Amino acid sequence: MAMTDSLITLPFNHSTAFTKLADNCERFTDVLIDCEEPTQKMALYGRLSACLNLLQPTLLEPIPEYLKASLTVEELPSRLPAFEPECDQLARYCQEITQLLINGSLPRQTEIVLEDLLRELVGYFADTLKAPRWLKTSEGTIAIG
C-alpha cells in the first residue's frame, strides 16, 4: 500500500528525462500486477498514461547531451532488450486483443492502435511458430536453442 501511494504521488513533468519516465512506467506496471484495490489500480493506470503521454512526443527526438554519458558503455551488455513471451502467452495476448476488437465498443482511434498492435503480435506469433527448430549438421540433427 505504501509503495502504491508513493507511486501515485511520484512527481514528474515534461522536463523529466525520458529515462526516468521509462523507469516510472516500469514501476507502475510492476505494482499494477499485484494491485487489487480498484481505486489504486485506476490511479496507477492514470499515472502510467500520464508518463506515456509525456514520452510519446519525445520518442523521435535526438537524445539530449546530458543523457548520452548514461547511455554509453565500454562493453556491450550480455543481454539486450527483447520481446520474448512464451508462445502460449503470446497467443493469449492476440486472443484478448481480438476479443476487445470484436466487442466493437472502442473509440475508433483506440481500435486503429489495437489493430496495429494485433497485426504486429500476430506476425511475431506466426514467425515464432514457423521458426526452424532443428539444424542439420554433419553429426546429425540438433535442436536450435
pLDDT digits (tens, 9 = 90+) for 11-69: 899 999 999 999 999 999 999 988 899 999 999 999 999 999 999 999 999 999 999 99
- If one counts the domains in the chain, the total is 2
Same domain assignment for residues 65 and 114:
no
Residue 20 CA to residue 63 CA, distance in Å, equals: 13
The yes-or-no verdict on residue 123 having pLDDT over 60 is: yes
Residue carrying C-alpha cell 553429426 = 139
Per DSSP, the three-state class of 100 is helix
Which pLDDT score, from 0 to 100, does residue 1 have? Answer: 56
Average predicted confidence (pLDDT) for the chain: 92
Q: Is 8 a residue whose pLDDT tops 80?
A: yes
**Residues 36, 88 within the same domain:** no
| Boundary-marking domain end, from 56, 78, 100 | 78
- What gap in Å lies between CA 96 and CA 48, rounded to an integer? 21
Domain range holding 39?
1-78
Same domain, 1 and 71: yes
In whole angstroms, give the CA distance from residue 28 to residue 55: 15
Same domain, 92 and 135: yes
Q: Which of 78, 106, 129 is the last residue of a domain?
A: 78
Domain co-membership, 94 together with 66:
no
Taking phi first (over 0 means left), then psi (-120 to 50 degrees means alpha), and beta for anything else, what does residue 102 get? Answer: alpha
Query: Are 73 and 29 in a shared domain?
Result: yes
Distance of CA 28 to the CA centre of its chain: 12
Q: How far apart are CA 98 and CA 39, in angstroms?
A: 27
Final residue before a domain boundary, out of 58, 78, 98 = 78
CA 15-19-25 angle, to 5 degrees, is 95
What average pLDDT does range 100-105 have in this prediction? 94
- For residues 74 and 91, membership in a common domain is answered with no
